[in-house]
Chains A and B, each alone.
Chain A
Amino acid sequence: MIKSRIRKYHAPVWDEPLVMQLGAEGRQGVALPITEPAISEVVGSPEDLIPLSMRRTSALGLPQLSEFEVQRHYLHLSQETLGMMQISLFGTCTMKYNPRVNEKIVYQPYVAEINPHQDEKTLQGSLEVVSRFDHLLRELSGLDKFVFQAGGGADAAYIQACITRAFHASRGELAQRNEIITTSQAHPCNPATASAAGFKVITLPLEENGYPSLEALKSVVSSRTAALMVNNPDDIGIYNPNIREWVEVVHQAGGLCFYDHANFNGVMTRIRAADLGFDACMFMLHKTFGGPKGGGGPAVGAYGCTSELIPFLPGPLVERNEGGSYELRDAGDLSIGRVREFWGNVPTVIRAYSWTRAMGIEGLRDAANISVLANNYMEKRILSIPGITKGLPELTQRRLEMTRYSLGELTQETGVTTIDIQNRMPDYGIDGYWLSHEPWFIPEPFTPEAGELWSIEDLDYWIDVLEIVCTEARENPELVKSAPHNQPVHQLSGANLSDPEKWATTWRAYQRKYMEID
């Protein structure tokens, strides 16, 4: 039953050129003042500061625009893409509002204008925030040290794979321990990074209870086991209650255990990785901790571990010395080395610190509760829509912050697929949904995630749109199959994505492949 007043919507169509195609020779945004003579006398001419061999011999091929033209261009792009401020229940990504106050903080010169090569005496404020946030995450996980160098969740999983390698190598067991165990509904970055680090990967499938059985785990754990890498709850919102025994089984065999906390939102303050026995975990500051993600900004995968693994962490490490000041300490000889530059995307660490302090422990718990409640509210309504079923419907336990659904019945009845529905929903001014990681084992899947942000009116609106589109699928399937219709561009062929001849990820490639400019 539709609960909302469905608004009429059509995205603005600006037919916006690429920024490289805008502007004109000689135009500029900001007219910088001429260097004062007293300064010039001391530092000399800017040209003299750059060695001859490093100077360009031709002009840099950047567009030349006024500030107004730049602002207008990006406003147009934002308007054409729902403005990043519409209802987005993009599952597994925990879409959250990024509070403006945190943006204000990171725009301050003492954050925005610092350079990692500065003397650390002049970086004390930033280092203190990084250190304090390290301690906050220790509280939330029970682990002993966090680092923020990883530029995302997969980077943090790669740290784990590298630390696994270094840890066993330090004990002379690497040649023997060459297997990492994961599950079919763990984030794909776990098997991928384990494989990239040279391990053989064993994937456990789901069984009757919606997670792999302890017996399955035991059947593959051996003296070859290097580590276990899992999510819990997993990607379909199911929590494995036997996880403590799992960790024990792997530890008894001499392996490490890594907790991928990509799905932390529903269990914040409810469980701690170390309490369950894990050696390490990862948090995504750009999802769970209020930092911007996707088009909104750089990501951070916070990697934490027990004291036993600290010697293997990537450096430099932010430490507080006996005098109370902060310093960047080189990691020791056992360190895996850097996985990214410097000590992480500091502005996002500061945003996450600000967000976590504002929430407080009670706020985090409320957020976890609300995200689970909101998901279960959504589940009740979504399952009342004909043609939609719950993935693994036989399972009676409640899903936590996410539920994976299937549109398989609707597809059989109408021929309209989950991708068609995903294309049609933005015609109503909301973001399309997340489908499922590969490989799909639930037919025509989709996975919304409510989180704690969205109001009940927002959730109802989203579900109403889904219901309307499912009705359209029955009454006018072609309308849905040919969607979107109210967006600045119509349906795109996915074929170009797999054709290197058509990729154009740089201006040069675009010119070469599409503009025939020498």
Chain B
Amino acid sequence: MSKPRSVSVGFLFNPIAGMGGKVGLHGTDHDNFTRALARGASPVARERALRAFKPLVAFRESFSFVSPHGEMGGDLLDQLGIEYTQSGPVSDGKAGGRTSAEDTRGVVQSMLDLDVEIILFAGGDGTARDIYAVSGPKVPLIGIPAGVKMRSGVFASYPENAAQILIDHVSARGAAEIHVEILDAVTTCEHPEADQAGIGSEFFGLALTLNSRSLLQSPKLSNPHQELGVLELAVALSESFDPDVLYLFGPGRTTSLILQAAGISGSLIGVDAIYNGAIVGEDLSELEILALLESYPKSFLFLGVIGGQGFLLGRGNQQLSLPVLERIGEENIYILAGSKKLSGIVPNRLLVDLDENIEGSFLTGYREVHTSPGRTTLCSLISATGAHPVMI
């Protein structure tokens, strides 16, 4: 049997992925696309997909791509001058509508019919779910992180790493395939019984991916039981608010504990703001945060860490953009996470995946993370353009 000339890779692009991020929505699925547009969202996925393909161009001979014509993949490959075999079908998104989850599923079935060996996609958890619904664990999936939420285990930690996984695969043909979880946030429209959307993760199955643990991000670990040290810390922080300071709270359970301890209920999954003990903004978008920062000269941000994945910025909190963080100022950003949560992040680094170049900014280098009153653990912040994370 002759050795195949190249690896057949299906490429699928979700053009609206990630648009909800900066405008304070927690995904772009369901009705959020229209809301995102109404809030002035602009497409972000294309830029991230291009970042992934940049290193791949030099290896184009090693792959034969299969992709649908148009905005779900073909346009982007055309722009890069990469040849591909056209898959189908796609309902005509260009006819005024937009591509749908149904289109994704149709494309994946077509790719499977064309015997693709790997499916590379750019999107978020919603896209991963739609692909997995058809592909199951039949072929490995590799996700270019381009959505708002990326809790599933198929995503590379950065767009560039998705390319690296493919390059490593063809360099050492037959990298082991592993099973990883497909997860997505619980939504109130799918689960009306859920207390609040976006908190828990729902498990959709075990997908295949390529074994490249240092390049793939870990699935989000959701632990409803907070560590005692963090609870004590939240109480202490809630009792130490200074007057006339705008306090911003990043999304997640850990930061919400501070609000709870202060007797304030926030959005939990979005960025909230308080001033002199009263809520002045809930589930804020990037522009809304910037507007608040204009109104209140002194500000302070509490920021949590995504368990398991170790993302500090760029997952579910895209509204905390570089301009927002620079406006708040390095010395006014307070990161908190339980020590057990931090020890579950291997290697012990916090990932920052912003669209802006952060090299040389205060978002790289070592940073203390508060784990309990009077206790911190040092973590290094790693940016997308930095070296690949090294496994320890």
Contact = CB atoms under 8 A, between A and B. Distances in A.
A77 to B, nearest CB: 35
Nearest to B346: A441
Interface centre among A203, A205, A219 (most CB of B within 10 A): A205
Interface string B89-131: 0000000000000000000000000000000000000000000
Interface stretch (A134-142, A208-216, A270-278): A208-216
Contacts of B392: 206-208, 210, 392, 394-395
Nearest to B372: A195
B238 interface: no
Contact of A205 (B365, B375, B379): B379
A441 B366 contact: no
A220 B380 CA distance: 12
| Interface size of B as a range | 20 to 34
A394 B343 contact: no
A200 interface: yes
B379 A201 contact: no
A206 B346 CA distance: 10
B359 interface: no
Contacts of B340: 438-439
A216 B378 CA distance: 8
A191 interface: yes
Contacts of A439: 339-340, 342-344
B374 A220 contact: no
Interface in A447-485: none
Contacts of B374: 195, 199-201
Contact of A220 (B347, B366, B391): B366
B59 to A, nearest CB: 26
B385 interface: no
Majority SS at the chain B contact face? mixed
B376 A201 contact: yes
B309 to A, nearest CB: 15
Contacts of B376: 200-203
A207 B366 CA distance: 12
A40 B344 CA distance: 71
B378 A220 contact: yes
B390 interface: yes
A204 interface: yes
A219 B376 CA distance: 13
Nearest to B368: A202
Interface in A219-257: 219-220
B377 interface: yes
A220 B390 CA distance: 22
A202 B343 contact: no
B348 interface: yes
B50 to A, nearest CB: 31
A202 B340 CA distance: 15
A353 to B, nearest CB: 38
Contacts of A215: 366
A216 B380 contact: yes
Given A220-B366, A394-B392, A441 B348 contact: yes
A184 B343 contact: yes
Interface in B296-347: 339-340, 342-344, 346-347
Interface of A: 184, 191, 195, 199-208, 210, 212, 215-216, 219-220, 392, 394-395, 438-441
Q: Which 6 residue pairs are nearest across A and B when measured between Cβ atoms?
A: A439-B343, A205-B348, A219-B366, A441-B343, A439-B340, A203-B377
12 contacts: A201-B375, A201-B376, A202-B376, A203-B339, A204-B377, A205-B348, A216-B378, A219-B365, A219-B366, A394-B391, A439-B339, A439-B340
Given A204-B377, A207-B348, A220-B378, 8 more contacts: A200-B376, A208-B390, A219-B366, A220-B366, A439-B340, A439-B343, A441-B343, A441-B344
